[in-house]
Amino acid sequence: MKGNFAAIALIAIGAIALAVNLDLFELDLVGLIKKWWPLVLIALGIGLFFTPDEGGKHS
C-alpha cells in the first residue's frame, strides 16, 4: 500500500504541475505552503501511527 500511495502522489503532483505550466489554472504554491504546512505534520503522524512495528513480528 505504501508504494501505491507514493505512485499516486507523484502522479497527482505531476498532473498539477503540468496543468499550472499549461496555464489551465493558477497556483500560488508559496502561499499554499505558508498556510497549510501543519497538515504535513499531521499526515506524517498518522502515517507513523498506522505503520506496523517491525519488532512485534515472531519468526
Rg (CA), the chain: 16
Cell of 55: 519488532
Query: What sign does the CA torsion over 39, 45, 46, 47 have?
Result: positive
Average pLDDT, stretch 5-14?
86
pLDDT, mean of residues 9-38: 88
3-state secondary structure of 7: helix
Q: Name the band, by pLDDT with cuts 50, 70 and 90, for residue 56.
A: low
Largest Cα–Cα distance of the chain, in whole Å?
55
59 pLDDT higher than 70: no
Q: With CA atoms as reference, report the closest residue to 29 among 17, 44, 40.
A: 17
